[in-house]
């Protein structure tokens, strides 16, 4: 944690440069290379349901999906990371750095979508470990945010599981295609990251999984133990 800010300087912009893990790899979004794979991973015609809470326009095809992501990267401040299988390079999902504030060392991880190849798999935790490492460990950011449409229960669970802290709801913040959006805010601070990082690393350790690939201990339990040890 940076407590003395007298020598604080703006941070570099997070990039989607390649990152590699045991269960996943992160590569920069490339429309030609990834739109078909993302469309397939998201269930093709089921993509609109999966991305419902994003408030994006209705998508009819992989080309529509690619066009929206490309436009957000070109004009909307998105830096999209595509999640792939480390051996087969199969496209599994995506998330983006956005609302990047280099001056104050703040950015958000958003437009998070885990496709069927990574659903409820270790890769779904590992990719967020990798993205947070870039923000905190490589670039020295002070605050990492996760925001969501308040009725999105699955995103609430994911944010809490990863170690983000709930900070409240901004009511009637936006008008989306689905109607009103009340936005729930979560954040992780630089002083909270070391515990979250250690918990993720211990959860991802192969020793935490049995022969059938089932977890032995939940991520939340591991993080709670670390907090108790430090108390």
User: Which structure tokens are listed for 108?
Assistant: 């958000």
Please answer whether residues 149 and 172 qualify as being in contact, where contact means their C-beta atoms are separated by less than 8 angstroms: no
Name the average pLDDT for the chain.
Answer: 96
Q: Name the DSSP class of 43.
A: T
231: pLDDT strictly greater than 90: no
Tell whether the model's pLDDT for residue 1 goes beyond 70: no
Convert the pLDDT of each residue in 125-151 to its tens digit.
999 999 999 999 999 999 999 999 999
Cα separation, 86 vs 26, in Å, equals: 9
Q: Which two tokens stand for residue 120?
A: 């409820």
Instruction: Please check the confidence at residue 35 and state whether its pLDDT lies above 90.
Output: yes
pTM flag (> 0.85): yes
- Distance between CA atoms of residues 8 and 2, nearest Å: 9
Domains of the chain in start order, with CATH, are 19-230 (3.40.630.30)
CA distances from 26 to 86, 91, 168, 169 (A): 9, 10, 30, 31
* Residue 93, strand partner residues: 83, 114
How many residues comprise the chain?
231
Q: Of 28, 185, 198, nearest to 106 (Cα)? A: 185
């Amino acid at each position: 944690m940076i407590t003395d800010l007298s020598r604080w300087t703006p941070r570099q912009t997070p990039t989607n440069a390649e990152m590699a893990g045991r269960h996943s790899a992160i590569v920069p979004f490339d429309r030609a290379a990834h739109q078909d794979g993302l469309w397939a991973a998201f269930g093709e015609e089921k993509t609109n349901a999966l991305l419902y809470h994003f408030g994006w326009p209705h998508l009819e095809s992989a080309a529509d999906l690619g066009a929206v992501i490309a436009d957000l990267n070109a004009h909307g401040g998105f830096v999209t990371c595509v999640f792939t299988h480390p051996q087969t390079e199969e496209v599994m999902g995506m998330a983006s750095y956005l609302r990047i504030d280099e001056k104050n060392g703040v950015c958000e991880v958003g437009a998070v979508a885990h496709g069927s190849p990574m659903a409820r798999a270790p890769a779904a935790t590992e990719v967020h470990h990798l993205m947070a490492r870039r923000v905190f460990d490589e670039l020295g950011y002070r605050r990492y945010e996760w925001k969501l449409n308040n009725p999105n229960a699955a995103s609430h669970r994911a944010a809490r599981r990863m170690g983000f802290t709930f900070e409240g709801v901004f009511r009637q913040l936006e008008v989306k295609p689905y109607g009103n959006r009340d936005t729930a805010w979560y954040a992780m601070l630089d002083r909270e990251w070391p515990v979250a990082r250690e918990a993720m690393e211990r959860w991802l350790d192969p020793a935490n999984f049995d022969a059938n690939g089932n977890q032995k201990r939940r991520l939340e339990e591991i993080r709670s133990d670390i907090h108790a040890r430090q108390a």
